Amino acid sequence: MKKTSTRLADGRELIYYDSRDDTLRTAADPRPLAPVTTTSEVRHDPLLGDDVAIASHRQGRTHLPPADECPLCPSTGARPTEIPDSSYDVVVFENRFPSLAGDSGRCEVVCFTPDHGASFADLTDERAALVLDAWIDRTAELSHLPFVEQVFCFENRGAEIGVTLGHPHGQIYAYPFTTPRTARMLRSTARHRAATGRNLFDDVLARELADGSRVVLETGAWVAFVPYAAHWPYEVHLYPKRRVPDLLGLDDTARTEFPGVYLDLLRRFDRLFGPQAPPTPYIAAWHQAPFTTPTAGGSGELADRDEFALHLELFTVRRTSGKLKFLAGSESGMSVFINDVPPEDAARRLREAALR
Q: Which residues are catalytic?
A: 169
Element (H, E) at 237: strand 234-240
Q: How does DSSP classify residue 333? A: I
Q: How does DSSP classify residue 169? A: E
* Strand pairing report for 169-175 and 215-218: unpaired
The partner residues of 239 in beta bridges, in order of sequence, read 223
Which of these, 166, 66, 72, lies nearest to 119 by C-alpha position? 166
Nearest 5°: the CA angle 290, 100, 80 is 120
Please say whether the beta carbons of 327 and 339 come within 8 A: no
Positive or negative CA dihedral for 115, 120, 124, 130?
A: positive
Report how far Cα 143 is from the mean position of its chain's Cα atoms.
16
Q: State how far the Cα of 344 lies from the Cα of 119, in Å rounded to an integer.
A: 28
Report the number of secondary-structure helices (H) and strands (E) in the chain. Answer: 6, 15
Please say whether the beta carbons of 180 and 49 come within 8 A: yes
Cα-based torsion angle of the residue sequence 135, 141, 146, 151 in order, rounded to the nearest 10 degrees: 10
The three-class DSSP label of residue 284 is strand
Residue 151 CB burial class (10 angstroms; 0-12, 13-18, ≥19): buried
Element (H, E) at 133: helix 125-143
